[in-house]
Amino acid sequence: MSGSVSNTVPAITSSLSQLQALNGLFAIYKKQGPTSADVLNVLKEALLKEAGVKNPNPRKRKNQSLKMGHGGTLDSAASGVLVVGVGNGTKMLSTMLTGSKKYVAVGEFGKATDTLDATGSVTLEKGFEHITRLDVEEKLKAFTGDIMQVPPLYSALKKDGQRLSVLLKKGHKVDAKPARPVTVYSLTLQEFKPPLFTLDIECGGGFYVRSLVDDLGKALSSCAHVKELVRTKQGPFTLEEHALHEEQWTLEHVLRSLKTCSEGDPEEDHPKPKKSYNEKREQRRLSRLPCCWTCTDL
């Protein structure tokens, strides 16, 4: 599933019929800045242009010439693996929503923001000099396993059909969503250089790293926000081995990376930690939902 291409293999000429015949999953690299939907649109436009479609409009949802969606929204400020489904592969994206994910997060003690990351406005500043590496490692134990977590206000979650983040930017009052069960398989402190600290996280679907870092700061009698976030794994797709960068968004590279529907569940050949009852229940619920043009974490 590597994105590399041998110089000895002849280039593949793309056509719309070839694109429309694709069915499966592959991974791309989302850079920091654009939204996940924006990145998907750029990918789709690049493939349609290669296929000879004049003036492709990837944002047009009706009568789509290429069925494509992504499984699991990354914040605009985050980067890393974004799994894409094409054709019948979009039906497999619910697995990406609830499956195992890995992140590397850089947090900063001493400042809290309204978005819980570096893109927001500072809402609180507190001292952090009392925090030691041992303190952090001890507190992380309470955030491992099956836990309850309150999602951030600025998120892809919706109210009356609109994302909370959009409502907030429009000036609407938004109440926090109730705490919900999430699963953290592993959580370790990689680096501790106050005020900065780096966490390595493996979690299930519906988990928010921003909420974790905010809660950690409060638990240590301070405050904190996410300074940098990279998703290094989503399901069986890893950043190093599978994620196609923008210069690789061609039919040839997609064909080399595609895990087809006929190969079954993309998780089958990649062992992962046993799912909790809550995660299994959430996956069953998601599997009953129609897959939309752009799938997001719920």
Active site residues per annotation: 75
* Inter-residue contact 48 to 56 (CB < 8 Å): yes
- Report angle CA 191, 194, 198 to the nearest 5 degrees: 30
> CB neighbours (10 Å) of residue 7?
4
Q: Which tokens in the block code for residue 297?
A: 């974490």
Burial of 160 (0-12, 13-18, 19+ CB in 10 A): exposed
Residue 195: is the preceding peptide bond cis (ω within 30°)? yes
Q: Is the dihedral of CA 181, 182, 188, 189 positive or negative?
A: negative
Q: Which tokens in the block code for residue 217?
A: 């700061």
Collect all residues with Cβ–Cβ distance below 8 Å to 282 and sequence separation of at least 6. Answer: 98, 205, 206
